[in-house]
């Protein structure tokens, strides 16, 4: 009896997980950690090159970490809260439109599905079924383009950004606190490059993107920032 050909396995949704739901906290965390590492290290290198002593360098690093974390939290909260306000206003308008003009909203939903390739008959059937099940949710998703994975969460974004900044600032501060002053600046630079490369690779891994490319770009910008800070610190130090 001839061997039966193997039936190809069918993947379920769980076999191919998507990671878009991570974008909110991942973006805020990556930005906060990157800023924490780089801005603190650049400040330490800048003031160190300018001639500030070991104690002054550490104090400057700690002050930068505290101020930066609070600034990141405030900026992220205001930015994301503004986005959230716009989303809520659009949802309220959609809710009112469904109350005052349900037939027009049904036609609008049908036209959206037609534009996506459904026949008018099938688009009408789908629009009716989804309207019956959850009219507002259907319009939020398909007309406004919003869903829970994309919605703005100000407190979450602010907390993730501030925490990540504070954690990111630790490596350069610890180096400044415990490494001999005569090798402090190159040590901070080296640790910062390693931390930035690791952060870029971890962020890419979390999003399943190319790790080498992500690590390379954050290191490039980090080196540029630290180099400029060192140059400015040297010039100011020479003048003072």
The DSSP-derived string for 13-76 is GGGS---GGGHHHHHHHHHHHHHHHHHHHHHHHHHHHTT--HHHHHHHHHHHHHHHHHHHHHHH
Reported confidence tier of residue 19, pLDDT bands at 50, 70, 90 = very low
Reported confidence tier of residue 25, pLDDT bands at 50, 70, 90 = low
Q: Which of these ranges, 23-32, 51-60, 123-132, 134-143, has the smallest mean pLDDT?
A: 23-32
Distinct helix (H) and strand (E) counts, the chain: 7, 0
The rounded percent of the chain whose pLDDT value lies above 70 is 84
Rounded average pLDDT over 24-28: 62
């Amino acid at each position: 009896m001839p061997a039966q050909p193997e039936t190809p396995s069918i993947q379920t949704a769980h076999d191919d997980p998507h990671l878009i739901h991570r974008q909110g906290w991942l973006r805020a965390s990556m930005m906060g950690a990157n800023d924490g590492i780089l801005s603190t290290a650049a400040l330490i290198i800048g003031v160190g090159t300018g001639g500030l002593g070991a104690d002054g360098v550490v104090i400057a690093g700690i002050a930068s970490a505290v101020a930066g974390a609070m600034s990141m939290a405030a900026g992220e909260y205001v930015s994301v809260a503004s986005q959230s306000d716009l989303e809520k206003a659009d949802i309220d308008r959609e809710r009112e439109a469904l109350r005052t003009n349900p037939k027009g909203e049904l036609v609008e939903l049908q036209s959206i599905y037609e534009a996506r390739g459904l026949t008018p008959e099938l688009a009408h059937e789908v629009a009716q079924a989804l309207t019956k099940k959850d009219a507002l949710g259907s319009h939020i998703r398909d007309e406004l383009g919003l869903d829970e994975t994309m919605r703005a969460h100000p407190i979450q974004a602010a907390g993730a950004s501030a925490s990540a900044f504070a954690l990111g600032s630790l490596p350069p501060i610890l180096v400044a606190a415990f490494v001999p002053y005569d090798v402090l600046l190159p040590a901070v630079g080296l640790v910062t490059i390693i931390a930035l490369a690791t952060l870029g690779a971890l962020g890419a891994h979390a999003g399943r993107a190319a790790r080498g490319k992500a690590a390379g770009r954050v290191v490039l910008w980090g080196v540029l920032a630290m180099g400029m800070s060192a140059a400015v610190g040297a010039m100011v130090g020479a003048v003072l």
